[in-house]
Amino acid sequence: MGGRRWLTKDFFILMTPAFVLLLIFIIYPLLNTFYLSFTHWDGMTQPKFVGISNYREMFHDPLFWTSVKNNLFIFIVFLPLVTLVGLGFAVLLHNKAVFGRNVLRGLVMLGMVMPMTVVGIVWMLLLDPHAGIVNRILEIFGVAPRAWIQDPSTAIYFVILGSLWAWQGFTTTVFLAGLEGLDVEVLEAAWIDGANAWQRFRYVILPLLKPALIVVVTMSAIYILKVFDLIYVLSGGESVPMYLFVLAYMVYYEIFYNFRWGYAAAIATLLTVSVFVFSLGMLKRMISERGVESG
Amino acid sequence: MRVVKVSTRYKVTINLVAWTIGVILFIPLLALVMASIRPFAEIVNGWWNFHNAHFTLINYKQVWDAGFWRYILNSLLIATFATILPILIAGMAAYGFTSFSFPVKTLLFLTLVAIQVVPQQAVIVPLLKLFRDLHMYNQYYGIILVHSTFALPWTIFFLRNFFKAIPKDYEEAARIDGLSDVGIYFRVILPIALPAIISVAVVQFIFVWQDLFFALTLLRPDKWPVSAGVTTFISRYNPNWGQLTAAGTLSIIVPILVYVLLQKYYMKGVTGGIKG
């Protein structure tokens, strides 16, 4: 490799389509969103440059703060939960004493391959005060039935549960792949050294799972920061109740209900920056591991 | 490893735990299907209640007659083309990356890696304007192009890692036979890379099938895929569970089938990010 002449017709035939598309549909709009976040714009007339007015407005917008609060709450509950659940399932499904592991692996992925709107419908049914099985099961433990989704103080758990059911398939699968890639000799050495099960897990397996852990935490963080479908499903054709707003839904709402495209761009920018911040660790690792230079 | 004695009690316990979890994970799907094949009056008393149970396909008929088949056709169309197109284009670029060295290679590659995580919301405002100006709004090819582009960064990354592992001898031999780079890509590299391409295809197909945000924003309801179409059956205050779950079941048949048939490839695609 290395020395081949690149200024050839073939080189450009191979590379041009991809980068033209990326330029038109991602790179240009991404930069443009950043610019538009400093404008007032209804989507029709010319955008008017207004400096940081949109960002200043956010601080006084109760809808914005509700969204941030919801995003944060979902994030803080979901992230450790989905990581631990994934790790636990992976360890369980990696255990050779478990029968039918392939069937179980398939079951884990069910929620992962269907549209989140259908996941939403399923959980609406499960949590329904009358037709839902969750209330019936809780009744056995003496918990009175309630309208989980209709109640503003508990509706957010619907989002967390639905996301958890759907996304644990990803975290479990990534941890499983990590476990399967472990070096048997290292484990054997730890075994011979007399480490017990917990010590082997804590001091040998867990450090070796670090790459998988980074992927899981990063991808889960990105996934949950962008939560949108499960919120949209609750709108029932109208707008979502205000107490359930999240940033991704707010972008949609400001575009299609308020026609404040500049403001929507500002919120989208904020969302994008948070996604990038949480991705940095993983992206850096991808770059160094894959060796950009080695081609 | 040395032979470890496993007690029967340990075996029973761990299987009990694993299969209890398995059943819990399966309940949501069971609920969806069960509610879809029972009359409304019975669902309200609980789909798990088999006392005096009746089964019916009336919900499916109603949903189908209400035009749900349209959403399925839209999904099939969009997901199929938004899978084939990016694979062709990403494969070409990935091959360009592996077989050429060029001045801004590192920069381009870093851009690709970073772009992977751009959320759909980050582009939607300018995209709506662009779509209006270019008359791409509410056109199948518009959303297909956008989905294809969003697939490119990770697909190029994934395929490049695979291409790198292909021995150079194949290429050299083909070059001696007089094939051009484009020819080598189509006749030599693509066939060898078929497993990787299937992995990418399955992941991308299922991903596009699931997408809601671009569908809602770039298409009118008549061109909506199932992910958005299914929401037209939702009503906040008195849900018609039968129709809702029948529509939901119809929406997941294709992706579940694809997943079941190509599970091995899907898993490879999903975990590609860590094992390379």
ipTM, interface predicted TM-score of the complex: 0.93
Sign of the torsion formed by the C-alpha atoms of A277, A282, A288 and A293: negative
Phi, psi angle pair for A39, to nearest 5°: -130, 160
Quote the mean pLDDT of chain B: 91
Q: Do B259 and A109 touch (CB under 8 A)?
A: yes
Question: What is the Cα–Cα distance from A37 to A49, expressed in whole angstroms?
Answer: 9
Alpha-carbon torsion B103, B104, B106, B108, what sign?
negative
Chain B neighbours among A 46-75 (CB < 8 Å)?
A: none
Q: Which of B95, B124, B94, B130 is nearest to B215 (CA)?
A: B124
Section B213-230 average pLDDT: 97
Q: What is the pLDDT of residue A289?
A: 67
- How far is residue B228's CA from residue B216's CA, in Å, rounded to a whole number? 7
Nearest to B157 by CA among B97, B217, B105, B233: B97
How far, in Å, CA of A90 to CA of A169, rounded?
Answer: 10
**Distances in Å between the alpha carbon of B273 and those of A213, B129, B159, B259, B261?**
12, 34, 11, 19, 22
Q: Which of residues 58-87 of B touch A (CB under 8 A)?
A: none
Is B46's CB within 8 Å of A131's CB? yes
CA distance A231 to A246: 8
Written as six digits, the tokens of B127 are: 């995209």
Record the tokens describing residue A47, joined without a space. Answer: 């955008």
Specify the pLDDT at position B3.
53
Residues A226, B129: C-beta atoms closer than 8 Å = no
Subunit contact B110:A104, Cβ cutoff 8 A: no
In the three-class reduction of DSSP (H, G, I as helix; E, B as strand; rest coil), residue A49 is classed as strand
pLDDT at B106: 86
- What residues 124-143 of chain B have any CB closer than 8 A to a CB of chain A? 124-130
pLDDT score recorded for residue B275: 42
Chunked in runs of 10, what are the mean pLDDT values of chain A (295 residues)?
Answer: 70 94 97 97 94 96 97 97 96 92 93 96 93 91 89 93 96 93 78 82 86 93 96 82 94 95 98 95 78 45
How does A197-217 read in b/e, with b if 16+ C-beta sit within 10 Å?
eeebeeebbeebbebbbbbbb
B contacts of A86 (beta carbons < 8 Å): none
Of how many residues is chain A composed? 295
| A-chain residue closest to B1, CA distance | A188
* Greater pLDDT, A246 or B39: A246
- Compute chain A's Rg from CA coordinates: 24
Is A287 in Cβ contact with B21 (below 8 Å)?
no
Q: If you compute the radius of gyration of chain B from its CA atoms, what whole number of angstroms results? A: 24
pLDDT at B276 over 60: no
What tokens does B33 get? 């299907």
Q: Which residue has the higher pLDDT, A277 or B185?
A: A277
Nearest to A266 by CA among A53, A24, A26, A27: A53
DSSP label at residue B232: G
* pLDDT at residue B224 greater than cutoff 70: yes
> What is the sign, positive or negative, of the torsion defined by CA atoms of A210, A282, A229, A74?
positive
- Per-residue pLDDT tens for B1-21? 445 566 888 899 999 999 999
Q: H or E stretch including A190?
A: helix A184-192
Architecture of domain A46-290: Orthogonal Bundle (1.10)
For residue A119, what are the contacts with CB-CB under 8 A and spacing of at least 6? A111, A162, A165, A166, A229, A230, B28
CB-count burial class (<10 Å; 0-12, 13-18, 19+) for B114: middle
Q: Check pLDDT > 80 for residue B76.
A: yes
The residue type found at A265 is A
Which residue from A246, A253, A251 is spatially nearest to A66, judged by alpha carbons?
A246
Contacts of A10 (CB under 8 A, 6+ apart): B180, B181, B182
Question: What pLDDT is stored for residue A237 in this prediction?
Answer: 64
Chains A–B, number of C-beta pairs less than 8 Å apart: 331
**A284, A263, A264: which is closest to A218 by C-alpha?**
A284
Q: What is the pLDDT of residue A295?
A: 40
B231–chain A Cβ distance below 8 A for any pair: yes
Cβ contacts (< 8 Å) between B90 and chain A: which residues?
18
Contacts of A36 (CB under 8 A, 6+ apart): A47, A261, A262, A265, B125, B126
**Confidence label for B172 from pLDDT (cuts 50, 70 and 90):** confident
Mutate to test the interface with B, among A23, A54, A121 (most CBs of B within 10 A): A121
DSSP-assigned beta bridge partners for residue A48: A40
* Chain B nearest C-alpha distance from A60 (Å): 22
Per-residue pLDDT at B273:
53
Closest Cα of chain B to A118: distance in Å? 5
CA B276/CA B272 separation, integer angstroms: 5
Rounded distance, CA B170 to CA B184, Å?
A: 9
Closest Cα to residue A129, out of A113, A141, A147?
Answer: A147
Q: For residue A291, what pLDDT is reported? A: 52
Task: Show the domains of chain B with their CATH numbers.
Answer: 1-56 (no CATH), 61-275 (1.10.3720.10)
CA atoms within 13 A on the CB side of B82: 30
3-class state of residue A260 by DSSP:
coil
Residue-wise over A224-251: b if at least 16 C-beta within 10 A, else e?
bbbbbbbbbbbbbeeebeeebbbbbbbb
Site of tokens 């809602």: B216
pLDDT tens digits, one per residue of B141-160? 999 999 999 999 999 999 99
Give the integer Cα–Cα distance in Å for A113 and A107.
11
- CA torsion angle B222 B228 B233 B237 (round to 10): -130
CA distance A79 to chain B (A): 18
- Is residue A177 within 8 A of residue A222, CB to CB? The reply is no
**C-alpha closest to that of B85 among B239, B247, B196, B201:** B201
